[in-house]
Amino acid sequence: MGMTRRDFMRGGVALGGLVAVSQLPAFADDPSLFSERGRWERLSIGYQHINAGASKPFTILHISDTHLTAVYPHESEWTRKFMERRSKTFGGRQEEALRDSLTWAKEHVDYVIHTGDLIDAQSEANFDLVKKYYGMGGSMMFGSLGNHEFLHGQGKKDQCDAEKAVSLPRLKEAYPFDLSIASTVVNGVNFVTLDNVYNTVTAHQASRFEEEIKKGLPVILCMHCPIDTPHINRAANRYWKRKDLKVVEDVSRWTERKRDATTADFIAYLRAQPLLKGILCGHLHFDVQDRFSPTAMEYLVGGNFLFHGQEITFS
Ligand SMILES: [Fe+2]
């Protein structure tokens, strides 16, 4: 699907109503929070540039991992208790962070890409927020799912494609894009968004991606989980394992994790693909970049629950 400047303006106009109709909890916009700072200064924005070969320069805001924890009083006990606990984990201001990010984006960039974990788990209230914010983003906003989009409190939670099928009807109803793989062309650059939330892709996704490559356009691959590289792997160990932090791991003998054949073949294909110009992902909750292939850098963005995102300019 192609987008024009006019589509973007429509999206922007829709976003204009965002603050007025937002139903935020009472603690929203606590004036004591960063009270001496300017309107946007509680947002933490990183900057990147990708020379992709666009027909005309443009900008995006890339956000990920908002981890919304909304729940209605009538929802199940598991859902209410889980959201109460996880709201503390993520600071309780995730909707404010998302709203500020999107309001800022309306004034500063052309498009918004969200690479998943917009919600921390499934709830009616969270799905209402998903519809509201994707609805307000309009054609300005697109994205991919994260592993937390599939999290629910019923039955076993094996991280596999069979388990995903339980959640797909609800997710399809809430998210306005093809959940498996989708393409959005902006000024001659093809943004391919796909679901790799358990670090796997399917044969269907791999063949659909090859179809996208056949369009002959530069491709930016957007998905939740990063493909590990030596430096990303080292950063993940340092951030999440929290041990021996003064020891800097030597990654010279790093080897890629074991993968199923379909996913391994897909990654090998990506590495050799000169039209791939960048990978945008999240999941790990910190910023890091590393070279993925001769033509593509991989850019991880940290958690949006911390009022964070990265602006990427394209030429
Ligand atoms: Fe994640």
Q: Is residue 104 part of a domain?
A: yes
Q: What is the Å distance from ligand 1's center to 80 Cα?
A: 21
Q: Is residue 91 part of a domain?
A: yes
- Is 22 within a domain? no
| Token code pair at residue 58 | 């443009």
Q: Is the residue at 68 inside a domain?
A: yes
CA distance 279 to 142: 15
Residue 277 Cα to ligand 1 middle (Å): 23
* 3-state SS, residue 259: coil
Q: CB-hemisphere CA count at 13 Å for 35?
A: 3
Tell if the pTM clears 0.85, that is, is over it: yes
Backbone angles phi, psi at 278, to 5 degrees: 175, 155
Cα separations (Å) of 236 from 11, 49, 78, 230? 36, 23, 30, 10
Q: Which residue type occupies 222?
A: C
Expressed in angstroms and rounded, the spacing between residue 260 Cα and the centre of ligand 1 is 20
Angle between helices 124-137 and 161-174 in degrees, nearest 10: 60
Higher per-residue confidence, 162 vs 146: 146
- The answer to whether the beta carbons of residues 200 and 261 sit under 8 Å apart is no
Q: Distance from the CA of 306 to the center of ligand 1, in angstroms?
A: 15
Structural domains in the chain (count): 1
| Average pLDDT of the residues in 87-108 | 94
Rounded CA separation 66/303 (Å): 6
- pLDDT at position 33 is 66
Specify the pLDDT at position 276. 98
The answer to the question of residue 17 being in a domain is no
Q: Is the pLDDT of residue 20 over 60?
A: no
For residue 199, the tally of other CB atoms under 10 A from its CB is 17
* 186 CA from centroid of ligand 1 (Å): 26
Q: Does 29 reside within a domain? A: no
Helix (H, G, I), strand (E, B) or coil at 221: strand
Cα(119) to centroid of ligand 1, in Å? 10
3-class secondary-structure state, position 119: strand
Q: Residue 225 falls within a domain, yes or no?
A: yes
| Segments forming the whole domain that contains residue 111 | 5-12+45-314
Q: Which two tokens stand for residue 248?
A: 């800097």
Nearest by Cα to 282 from 65, 49, 46, 43:
65
CATH number of the domain bearing residue 291: 3.30.750.180
Is 294 inside any structural domain?
yes
Percent of residues, the chain, with pLDDT higher than 90: 74
- The Cα–Cα gap between 145 and 181 comes to 10
Q: Could you tell me the pLDDT band of residue 187, with boundaries at 50, 70 and 90?
A: very high
Over residues 242-259, the pLDDT tens digits come to: 677 778 888 888 888 899
In the reported structure, the alpha carbon of residue 58 is separated from the centroid of ligand 1 by a whole-number distance in angstroms of 27
37 Cα to the center of ligand 1, angstroms: 31
- Asked if the model's pLDDT at residue 105 lies above 70, the reply is yes
Q: What is the CA radius of gyration of the chain?
A: 19
Residue 12 has pLDDT above 60, yes or no: no
Per-residue tokens: 11: 């999206």
